[in-house]
Amino acid sequence: MADTNEVLALFGGPKAVQTDVGDIIDWPIVTDEDEQAILDVLHRKAMSGMDVTKLFEEEFAAWQGTEYALGFSTGTAALQAAMFGCGVGVGDEIICQSLTYWASCLQVYSLGATVVFSEVDPDTLCMDPADIEARITEHTKAIMVVHYVGHPADMDPIMEIARAHDIKVIEDVSHAQGGMYKGKKVGTFGDVAAMSLMSGKSLAIGEAGILVTDNLEIYERGIALGHYGRFNTDIQTPSLQPHIGLPMGGYKYRMHQMSSAMGRVQLRHYDERCAEIQKAMNHFWDLLEDVPGIKPHRPAKDSGSTMGGWYAARGLYRPEEVGGLSATRFCQAVSAEGVSCSAGINKPLHLHPLFNTTDVYGHGKPTRIANADRDLRQPVGSLPVTELMPKRCYSIPWFKHYDEQIIGEHAMAYRKAAENYESLLEDDPGDAEGMGGWHFFSHG
């Protein structure tokens, strides 16, 4: 294996990564079992049915540890239903971190509500509990907590604040299925959780989303929004009963049964496959614990918290430890070693026109403030920690299998670049303003 005294590949030295990576990054793992389950749906012409979806929901609820699970066509829809389930409506506000994918919060517009963004903790990249309380107003209906790029959010203080103010908590688990916070599964802390199960995510079943809750009214409101086939006389919530038979929201959000069939198979293998991902990813970070400039993005080992599936895994960058070397230059050197590494992370949402100027529904003013009692927009500089994060993060490989040789070579690429930072300072182009992406995670 290469050692760090070798010349950087960027300057003509040998690449740290020499071994063919094979299928170590491939995801999801699809076998005959998935194929047979999907073919069964196809042959029975049951694509639009609900029998397989209901079985998937039962199994998912048992795995998640919640009373109810409701399947959706997408995670976007499931999260919108979670908001509707919590009673988010015209003039209401939700609090969400700005550092996330748009589908954690943008759906509030469709409910006549809006979003107030809060800061992240720079080590977890999840909502900073210390930055919530001051943002609560009489209009705040819910806090949307994102377990961002696999890391569990700090749920104890968040739940305490929410309970003290009688506000609902929604968890967006799209990045962290199966992750633990202090020994308990993420998605079981808030009033409701919802998540994407699309094929780029760690629990990947096609195109789908799911809502999980112990709360019957939230579950039934989730049905009311977009599941007319199930919005029937079983509904117990009195305020919904006059409307049964048609979806109140005007949407149709049924899960495709080829996805639910694949979901049943994927779920059966998920814990075992995740355990191997955990082992591989933790080994990668164990090899880099002492390296200047780079810091693992994962919970402390003895905390009872884990990363779940390590979706879109990132590393934390500390330029002050490497002479101010930019993340961009660091990633150039890592990539030259044979690992595809990119600097950045999601661009903060509060800076996008959709959250500042765009009039989506023709209110004659920006939708963000169309139903608000004040101008709650957040200009450049208003969330300084969040705005810095794209320069403080970089991608790392998402290993699905434990292979010491391959993982060791990849870790060496990061170590070599960081330990030889001095040689990289000279031609450092610096980080571009506005780096990162609003649709950062592309799914091919």
Ligand X SMILES: *Cc1c(COP(=O)(O)O)cnc(C)c1O
Applying CB under 6 A, the residues found at the interface with ligand X are 74-76, 79, 100-101, 103-104, 146, 172, 174-175, 196, 198, 209
Rounded to the nearest 10°, the torsion over CA 384, 386, 390, 392 is 80
Please, which residue, 126 or 316, has the CB nearer to ligand X? 126
Q: How many CB atoms lie within 10 A of CB 270?
A: 20
Between 74 and 305, CB nearer to ligand X: 74
- Cβ-in-10-Å burial (0-12, 13-18, 19+) of 22 comes to exposed
Q: Which is nearer to ligand X, 146 or 294 (CB)?
A: 146
Based on CB atoms, which residue is closest to ligand X, 118 or 196?
A: 196
Q: Which is nearer to ligand X, 347 or 415 (CB)?
A: 347
Within a 13 Å sphere around the CA of 444, how many CA atoms are in the beta-carbon half? 7
Q: How far is the CB of 207 from ligand X (least distance, A)?
A: 7
Least CB distance from residue 146 to ligand X, whole Å? 5
Least gap, CB of 40 to ligand X (angstroms): 24
Decide whether 111 or 146 has the Cβ nearer to ligand X: 146
C-beta separation of 37 from 256 below 8 A = no
* Residues linked to residue 223 through DSSP beta bridges, in sequence order: none
Least distance to ligand X, CB of residue 196, Å: 3
Closest CA to 201 of 280, 120, 315, 313: 313
CB of 163 to ligand X, least distance (A): 24
Contacts of 350 (CB under 8 A, 6+ apart): 98, 117, 356, 377, 378, 382, 383, 386
Q: Answer for the pair 176, 186: CB distance below 8 angstroms, yes or no.
A: yes
Closest distance to ligand X from the beta carbon of 244 (Å): 27
Do residues 78 and 170 lie in contact, with contact meaning Cβ atoms separated by under 8 Å? no
The nearer residue to ligand X, 101 or 310, going by C-beta atoms, is 101
Q: 3-class DSSP state for residue 433?
A: coil
| Residue with smallest beta-carbon separation from ligand X | 75
State the minimum distance, in angstroms, from the CB of residue 94 to ligand X.
Answer: 13
* Tokens read off for 417: 């670049």
SS3 172: strand
